[in-house]
């Protein structure tokens, strides 16, 4: 198995090495190779991500990806969007799990407001929101496959205002009916509030690109912040796993970044390659680490990134010895 490792920028360079050490506990013989993309590369070379890097990522079976910085520069193209489009990683999966709730947010990952169709004129800037039948159908079918193993699908939308969301809702309802799963719809603004007030009422949520981005960040409040939320980016050929949080340049280099989201992303990776028991061990090790108070400052603890990572590894090895 070939695994591309992209540390990226900022705290990506601190949390991905921790996640990599955990992953190697279960995949020690994989062919790991680094791929450099991001803002630091752009500052140094004038290129953030070239065709060579895309080809390298396409040569991998799996990609472990850190955070990258996207500066407010009109000449800088988002690396994350470029990779999602080039590799057609159309489904973004973000699980949010707590004591009395277990939510999976499924986000369309290549269209919507992040279609990449943009231009600037003298008195305005324009971004085209693209919603296609193909894009709606395949993300709806993806969400339905997950829901078949669970209970209920909620379609987050703004169809009362946006015609494009009417199309999205219509197709999702059609696919849910064909799959024979329980399904309901909810306007995204009401959903963002209700998920905070009554998270136990939700199971699988499918929505469009920018709405899914916002909703998953909102739901991170339920578990302690973005430092805890992992994600998977899945396509028909490629798969990329990354923490939801950004590069956090304000704390980069201080060894205080929370590595849990990155480590949880390795659990999603193992789920993807049909190693669910090993993935559960990682999740249990993380929970044990949190329960014993070995956390970074964002969770009220006093541990460094490396110390938290070491404790997770210790807990993981203890779990494996007794398995």
Return the beta strands (E) in 109-254 as ranges.
118-120, 125-127, 152-157, 182-187, 204-207, 230-234, 239-243
pLDDT of residue 77: 81
Q: What angle do CA 315, 319, 323 make, to 5 degrees?
A: 175
Q: CA-to-CA distance for 270 and 285, rounded, in angstroms?
A: 15
Task: Quote the mean pLDDT of the chain.
Answer: 95
pLDDT of residue 70: 86
pLDDT of residue 258: 97
Better pLDDT: 116 or 235: 235
Domain segments of the chain as ranges? 1-89+227-323, 99-222
**Sign, Cα dihedral of 22, 24, 30, 32:** positive
Q: Nearest CA to 14 among 312, 307, 280, 264?
A: 307
**Sign, Cα dihedral of 5, 108, 276, 102:** positive
Q: Give the model confidence (pLDDT) of 148-200 as tens digits.
A: 999 999 999 999 999 999 999 999 999 999 999 999 999 999 999 999 999 99
Query: Is there a common fold for 1-89+227-323 and 99-222?
Result: yes
Q: Give the model confidence (pLDDT) of 112-141 as tens digits.
A: 998 888 888 999 999 999 999 999 999 999
The architecture that CATH gives domain 1-89+227-323 is 3-Layer(aba) Sandwich (3.40)
Q: CA-to-CA distance for 70 and 73, rounded, in angstroms?
A: 8
The DSSP code sequence of 120-133 is E-SS-EEE--B--H
Q: What angle do CA 130, 148, 228 make, to 5 degrees?
A: 70
pLDDT of residue 35: 97
Give the pLDDT band (50/70/90) at residue 218. Answer: very high
Give the pLDDT band (50/70/90) at residue 72. Answer: confident
Give the Å distances, CA to CA, from 228 to 2, 224, 297: 26, 7, 13
Q: Give the model confidence (pLDDT) of 24-53 as tens digits.
A: 999 999 999 999 999 999 999 989 999 999
Q: Give the model confidence (pLDDT) of 264-285 as tens digits.
A: 999 999 999 999 999 999 999 9
74 pLDDT more than 80: no
143 pLDDT more than 90: yes
- Assigned superfamily of 99-222: Isopropylmalate Dehydrogenase (3.40.718.10)
């Amino acid at each position: 198995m070939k695994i591309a490792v992209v540390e990226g920028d900022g705290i990506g360079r601190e949390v991905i090495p921790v996640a990599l050490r955990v992953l190697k506990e279960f995949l020690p013989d994989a062919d790991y190779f680094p791929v450099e993309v991001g803002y630091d590369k752009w500052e140094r070379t004038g290129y953030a991500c070239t065709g060579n890097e895309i080809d390298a990522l396409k040569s991998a079976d799996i990609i472990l990806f850190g955070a990258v910085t996207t500066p407010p520069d009109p000449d800088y193209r988002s690396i994350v969007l470029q990779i999602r489009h080039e590799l057609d990683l159309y489904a973004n999966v973000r699980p949010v799990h707590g004591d009395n709730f277990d939510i999976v947010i499924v986000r369309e990952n290549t269209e919507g407001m992040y279609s990449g169709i943009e231009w600037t004129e003298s008195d305005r800037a324009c971004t085209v929101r693209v919603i296609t039948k193909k894009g709606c159908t395949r993300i709806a079918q993806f969400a339905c496959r997950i829901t078949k193993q669970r209970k209920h699908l909620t379609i987050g939308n703004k169809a009362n205002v946006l015609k494009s969301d009417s199309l999205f809702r219509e197709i999702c309802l059609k696919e849910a009916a064909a799959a024979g799963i329980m399904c309901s719809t909810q306007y995204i603004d009401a959903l963002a509030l209700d998920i905070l007030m009554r998270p136990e009422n939700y199971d699988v949520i499918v929505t469009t690109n920018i709405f899914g981005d916002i909703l998953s960040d909102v739901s991170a409040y339920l578990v302690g912040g973005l430092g805890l939320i992992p994600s998977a980016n899945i396509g028909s050929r490629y798969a990329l796993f990354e923490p939801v949080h950004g590069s956090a340049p304000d704390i980069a280099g201080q060894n205080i970044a929370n590595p849990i989201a990155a480590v949880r992303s390795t659990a999603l990776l193992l789920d993807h390659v049909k190693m669910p028991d090993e993935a559960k061990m990682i999740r249990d090790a993380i929970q044990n680490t949190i329960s014993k108070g070995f956390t970074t400052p964002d969770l009220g603890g006093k541990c460094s990134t490396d110390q938290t990572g070491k404790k997770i590894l210790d807990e993981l090895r203890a779990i494996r010895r007794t398995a």
